Amino acid sequence: MDFQAVIESLPRYGEPLLVTVGVTVASAALALVLAFGLGLMTGSRHLAVRTPARVFVEFFRGSSVVVQLFWFAFAMPVVLGIQFDYLIVAGIIALGFNYGAYSSEVVRGAIAAVPKGQLEAATALNLTPLQKLRLVVLPQAWPEMIPSLCAFAIMLLKASALVSVIGVLDITWLAGLLGKQPGQDRLLHYAVVLVIYFVLAWLIWTGMRALERRAKRGLGIEAKVQKGRLAPAVAAGGVD
Amino acid sequence: MQTGWSNETLREIFPAIWDGFIVVLQVTLVAGIIAIVVGLLVAIGERNGPAWLRRPLSLVFQFIRNTPLLVQVLIVWTATSLYINPDWSAFAVGSTVLGLHYASYTSESYRAGIDAIPKGQWEAATALNLPSHRVWGAIVLPQMARRSAAAVGNWIIAMFKEVPTLFIIGVMEMIAEARAFQGQHYTGAVEGYTLAGLLFLAASYPVAVAMRRLENRLAKSNF
């Protein structure tokens, strides 16, 4: 195994790494916005609000993210006439929509789990619906969402490797390219990329733990100390 | 360049996509069995295995769980086809990697199921001086199965929808079929990918609903 050639080509991973991180962050932001929008809508009492959101969620959860990626990149420009200048946008939309649909269930579940007495008290205090949401419901639901959202963020990071197959130049793509060059070891390049993803996943997990502790401290709850393992906190039904 | 939806192309591409769908089901069956069995072995091994095995096992599966399936498939396929045995099929290698990837998830669901068993059950088993295989076979596993069934089922559905990742090593599932069709006919992207998405939806939605029912029923039943 030729370590020297791999070590010398490590600086070339710099720019693709920015692409991987950029795709992950951008689609996570899109997913988060969608998750809250859809989560509030699917939890609504009104059928007219609930139904379209439900259809959107089931549609994007039910059809595979890989297929969606190809659909947004190669079918949508033809059918809808929407053409992106950069395929990376199609990738971000596909990942954001898919994980937004998944995460909306987390948001809906956490909001539904806020004790009823809290809502009754808010009504008794004559808070408007928006005040109720902003001052009573979300501050209590948010810490409960963080572990599951963290699990989805890590799954999103992993899924971001798929954008390499529609032609976005991320680290997975670079490993494939460099690995084919003479004097390079393809296995070592893929191994390097795996380690990079693992470190990124660990960073997301560590960041989320800190966020959860802070959010819970704000409510006067001590976060449960979890042993140092990167485990999916997705409850049953979170992914289906 | 294709200009729009064509029913003609849809009719032509349907048999190819359907073949791909059958391959997806076959991969799901093989990988599903691996995920269900290996996940259980890992969960038991991490809890009751020999001490020297527990930590490495847990680390290896944490690594698998937190790195992309796509790269895992590529690295294993490179290793087998270049260095180990070029005769191993993409189907076999792909299904195994997919199964092991999801074993890293199912093992967590099993672990949660085992952790949820009241401590008194273990103590009673010890008090009765049951041998270890009876403790697991008669007491722990039956209780764990009910708690973990829905979660493991959900992981299998998620796995089913990730099968198309294997197109990268040449497993002829729906994406690979759609791409092959485009290579020959210079059309079919719209119809192929749309059809693939709809087939996934049609197959996974009823199962997902059934899983939710099962989950609710098990949650309500007193155990």
Domains of chain A: 3-218 (1.10.3720.10)
Q: Reply yes or no on whether the pLDDT at A165 is more than 60.
A: yes
Listed by start position, the domains of chain B span 15-220
Cα B221 to Cα A81: distance, rounded to the nearest angstrom: 52
A41 or A231, which is more confident: A41
Taking residues A212-226, report their average pLDDT. Answer: 75
Q: How much of chain A, in percent, has pLDDT values that exceed 70?
A: 92
Is A230 an 8 Å CB contact of chain B?
yes
Q: Reply yes or no on whether the pLDDT at A109 is more than 80.
A: yes
Q: Which residues of B touch A230 (CB under 8 A)?
A: 62, 65-66
Cα A94 to Cα A72: distance, rounded to the nearest angstrom: 6
The C-alpha angle B173, A17, A175, rounded to 5 degrees, equals 50
Nearest chain B residue to A150 by CA distance is B66
Nearest chain B residue to A191 by CA distance is B75
Q: Please report how the helices A87-112 and A14-42 are oriented relative to each other, as an axis angle in degrees rounded to 10.
A: 40
Is A82 an 8 Å CB contact of chain B?
no
Whole-number pLDDT of residue A226: 53
A228 or B113, which is more confident: B113
Give A127→chain B minimum CA distance, Å: 34
Whole-number pLDDT of residue A238: 41
Whole-number pLDDT of residue B8: 86
Whole-number pLDDT of residue A235: 41
CATH architecture of B15-220: Orthogonal Bundle (1.10)
Whole-number pLDDT of residue A100: 96
Is A209 an 8 Å CB contact of chain B?
no
The overall average pLDDT reported for chain A is: 88
A169-192 pLDDT, tens digit per residue, is 999 999 999 988 888 888 999 999
Size of interface A-B (CB pairs under 8 A): 154
Is B89 an 8 Å CB contact of chain A?
no
The answer to whether B164 and A66 are in contact (CB under 8 A) is: yes
Whole-number pLDDT of residue A219: 80
Those residues whose C-beta lies under 8 Å from the C-beta of residue B146, and which sit 6 or more positions away, are: B113, B218, B223
B127-170 pLDDT, tens digit per residue, is 999 998 888 889 999 999 888 988 999 999 999 999 999 999 99
What are the CA-CA distances from residue A103 to residues A133, B68, B138 (Å)? 19, 19, 37
Nearest chain B residue to A68 by CA distance is B197
The overall average pLDDT reported for chain B is: 91
Those residues whose C-beta lies under 8 Å from the C-beta of residue A107, and which sit 6 or more positions away, are: A35, A36, A38, A39, A40, A43, A141, A145
> Do B194 and A65 lie within an 8 Å CB cutoff?
no
> Do B194 and A75 lie within an 8 Å CB cutoff?
yes
Confidence of residue B214 (pLDDT cuts 50, 70, 90): confident
Is B109 an 8 Å CB contact of chain A?
yes
pTM over 0.80: yes
Residues in chain B: 223
CA proximity to A92, closest of A76, A70, A69, A71: A69
The answer to whether B222 and B143 are in contact (CB under 8 A) is: no
Taking residues B172-188, report their average pLDDT. Answer: 89
Which two structure tokens, joined as six digits, stand for A185? 């070891």
Is A166 an 8 Å CB contact of chain B?
no
Whole-number pLDDT of residue B107: 95
B77-136 pLDDT, tens digit per residue, is 999 998 898 899 999 999 999 999 999 999 999 999 999 899 999 899 989 999 988 888
Whole-number pLDDT of residue A85: 73
Whole-number pLDDT of residue A48: 92
> Do A187 and B165 lie within an 8 Å CB cutoff?
no
ipTM: 0.90
Whole-number pLDDT of residue A228: 52
